[in-house]
A and B are shown apart, each in its own frame.
Chain A
Amino acid sequence: MEQKNSRDISRLQALAYELKIEQAMTANVITVSPDSTMAEFRDILKANRISGTPVVEAGRLVGIISIEDLIKALAAGEMDARVSDKMTPHPATLYADEPLVHAVVQFSQLGFGRFPVINRAGELVGIITPGDIAKAMLKKLEIALQEEELHRYRASHIFEDIIANDIALVLGYRVVGGDLVRAGEASSGLKKTLTRLGIPPAIIRRVAVATYEAEMNIAVFTSGGEIVAEIRPDRIRIEALDKGPGIPDIELAMQPGFSTAPPWVQEMGFGAGMGLPNIKACADEMKLESEIGVGTRLEVVIYVS
């Protein structure tokens, strides 16, 4: 429980960096002109049920004024005075594109109740209070937690909910040949899905590594192919299929260190002849069939229990 709490707190810290001030602030701020009288300012506060506003002249922020300034003016009988004479000029501001954590720090250091938010051109775009920060972080935290937990809850019960003598969940992924930037997306998707299904992490790791090596092979050597994962309660079967060029000597290809990969693949950290041996090491069963000019079919089975 304690560990979960500390994880939640660091998640909050991360959120304070991830969120920008503009995502938490209130836009469409009510403002007052420096030429208004304090009586007019009072009417603005009353009409909008607020306790202070930025003072804006031609789109530019020139000051900030609060209900405290109004009370002082009222006590001194200066309700006809200009806002420009009673406001705090050159107020501390925050930039809209700064991380939210800057606002948190400013609030705790300066002890103000609100900060005007400006863009890089110096125009007023919003206002932020400590309440806005709490609201934005809670909202984001809730969305992030809910989405993944909901996925996990729904998926992990799928086998219990289905009534049949034999259950298999079949997932298909396309692999684009020659695209070394996106290579790995299929394995990534499969790994995430297995996590949601509640498969033990040690099993997921073996499936992920074997699938990833197979996916890299398809991406590097062929014009594309597909990966099909068949998930059963007791075993996961992965099939990697492509349409050529085929492996001339499978026994040789299975030797650790044997590789036909071009230098640019080696520069990426692959092509050292460890792919197929790696897959074999992860698998409980492995079958590799290939025909030159036709294609290659790799089948890997990993037992879940």
Chain B
Amino acid sequence: MKLREVLDIIDGKVISETVDLDMEVQMGCGADLMSDVLAFTHEGTLLMSGLTNPQVVRTAEMAGIKAIVFVRGKIPPPETVALAKEKGIPLLASKYTMFETCGRLYQAGLPSCGLFELTLKKWHEAFGSE
């Protein structure tokens, strides 16, 4: 899905000064916990987050996140915008909640980044492997 389509689906706005709206994202992930993002996202992911501090951009850089959407109408501080510019990670914003932003994109066909393997073992122990 192109960032142009993402913007359209979530009625989003562009925060970064320059964005290549033809950039493709392959899957989506919604999280406010950066360690979870580091643990279970893949290259090419679009991250939805309600956190706006610079470490969100660092996390994106390490995890190979392609672009970030800040949800709930949150606008990141200048230091976050500056770091994202340096790292070449586009920043977008959505006025909708995390649930609605992710829901709209999922409904439009953007797949999830998969299951959280780190906790899957415990899940199977508790509920079986079905």
Contact = CB atoms under 8 A, between A and B. Distances in A.
B partners with A: yes
Nearest to B19: A14
B107 interface: no
Interface in A1-43: 6, 10, 13-14, 17-18
B113 to A, nearest CB: 13
Interface residues of A, number: 31
Contacts, number: 89
Contact of A256 (B20, B34, B118): B118
A181 interface: yes
A13 B59 CA distance: 27
Nearest to A17: B18
Pick the 9 closest A-B CB pairs, nearest first: A274-B35, A184-B58, A269-B34, A17-B18, A208-B62, A212-B62, A10-B20, A209-B38, A269-B51
B33 interface: yes
Nearest to A266: B33
Interface string B44-63: 00000101011110110111
B56 A183 contact: no
16 contacts: A13-B20, A14-B18, A17-B17, A18-B18, A181-B79, A184-B58, A184-B61, A188-B58, A208-B63, A212-B58, A268-B51, A269-B34, A270-B55, A274-B35, A274-B39, A277-B39
* Contact residues on B (Cβ < 8 Å of other chain), bracket: 20 to 34
A275 interface: yes
